[in-house]
Amino acid sequence: MRSGTYKETYGELIALTDSRLVWFWGAALMVVLAAAPYLVNAYVLSLMTIMLITVVGALGLNILTGYTGLISLGHVGFLVSGAYGYAVVVSRWGLPPLAGFVAAGVVPAALSLVVGAPSLRLRGLYLAITTLAFAFIIDNLILQAGPLTNGARGITVERPDMLGLSFASDAAFSHLCLAAAILTLFGTLNLRRSRIGRALVAIRDNDIAARAMGINLNAYKLLAFVTSAFVTGIAGALYGINLSYVSVEGFPFLLSIEALAILIVGGLGSPLGAILGTIFIMLLPEVTGSLLRLFGTQAEALFSTGAQELKSTLYGLVIILFLRFEPGGLVRIWHDVRRLWVHWPLRF
């Protein structure tokens, strides 16, 4: 049985983990994920790719909603502007994909300054409403800016070919998504333990106290907005490439709800929670679908005609149930299980 752990330096306190086991299993997981594209069938591979992309987006929203405590209903706006940033630069202007990814991050980041600046004065409810408004405005602007964005017809995008590698095959593209997910994971984990991350969490927990401690609220809130939009934009570009077609219809408002559901189910403010939440939320419609199939053809017909509606109902239900019964999310359940495993038969 492990006894209490004692930290003697600040370095130990903010280390990502003090356990070699975690590094070992993390590395093992990476190896499995890297090898998986060659072992699983096409359907599982596509599900895995979309999950990895969603992890990037969820971690992006986590910076804003989880760390800083600002609700955003408009993240689908950053997602779609990132996708268009990539599509316009690469497919229409013919620039290299790397420039496309830069644009996919920079365009939403610039837009986030426009939404973020007025919402600095607002809290909770009002911010949810402004970001909601932003999501609708951005869709409309894209439809209006026909010469640049092709209006309602959308833009076709190809799998990228960059850094001397081709990401055209499904397996290679899922590796690209895996790399993006790992980079984002370590990026947000390291952000959390830096001065910036501590400031953001202080703002979330009590903004007046944070201000009294000398944290510049406006600057840090804007920084959270910009970082979050940048990461989300990259996820949007990957999402667009995965769809191979970028249009306003490809990014329904439900994606915003999905992202919030992921954070709530996983546990707000925890990168591990964002990952667990993604797995839960992405598998939920699949599992429900196969359960319904057990009930025969009628239930299956309901699933195929109302797939979108079923999905939104499930998201709504899990949000309500988790907020009501387990506000800490899956990550709390995971910690409880781990504590039980380590300390059993003692309670603490």
**Chain residues in the site for another protein (CB under 8 A):** 69, 71, 73, 115, 118-119, 121-122, 124-126, 128-130, 132-134, 136-137, 140, 143-144, 208, 254, 257, 260-261, 264, 302, 306, 308-310, 312-313, 315-317, 319-320, 323-324, 327
> At its nearest, how many Å lie between another protein and the CB of residue 112?
13
Nearer to another protein, 48 or 115 (CB): 115
Nearer to another protein, 101 or 303 (CB): 303
Nearer to another protein, 80 or 257 (CB): 257
> At its nearest, how many Å lie between another protein and the CB of residue 114?
9
Nearest to 120 by CA among 215, 212, 223: 223
CA 76 from chain centre, in angstroms, equals 11
Nearer to another protein, 17 or 144 (CB): 144
Question: Which residue type does 263 have?
Answer: L
CA 266 from chain centre, in angstroms, equals 11
Nearer to another protein, 91 or 130 (CB): 130
> At its nearest, how many Å lie between another protein and the CB of residue 118?
4
Nearer to another protein, 121 or 343 (CB): 121
> At its nearest, how many Å lie between another protein and the CB of residue 204?
10
CA 11 from chain centre, in angstroms, equals 28
> At its nearest, how many Å lie between another protein and the CB of residue 248?
12
Give CA–CA dist 274/182, Å, rounded. Answer: 13
Q: Angle at Cα 283 formed by Cα 280 and Cα 286, nearest 5°?
A: 150
> At its nearest, how many Å lie between another protein and the CB of residue 134?
7
CA distances from 104 to 15, 84, 156, 233, 239 (A): 31, 7, 15, 5, 11
CA distances from 97 to 62, 158, 225, 237, 309 (A): 26, 10, 25, 10, 35
To the nearest 10 degrees (0 to 180), the angle between helices 75-87 and 254-266 is 120
Strand partners, 156: 245
State the DSSP string of 251-268.
S-THHHHHHHHHHHHH-T
Q: What are phi and psi of 318, to 5 degrees?
A: -65, -35
Nearer to another protein, 107 or 138 (CB): 138
Contacts of 125 (CB under 8 A, 6+ apart): none
Give CA–CA dist 246/258, Å, rounded. Answer: 19
Nearer to another protein, 254 or 272 (CB): 254
> At its nearest, how many Å lie between another protein and the CB of residue 319?
4
> At its nearest, how many Å lie between another protein and the CB of residue 32?
34
> At its nearest, how many Å lie between another protein and the CB of residue 58?
15
Report long-range pairs for 104-107 (Cβ below 8 Å, ≥24 apart).
Answer: 104/233, 104/234, 104/236, 104/237, 105/230, 105/231, 105/233, 105/234, 106/230, 106/233, 107/81, 107/82, 107/233
Nearer to another protein, 51 or 142 (CB): 142
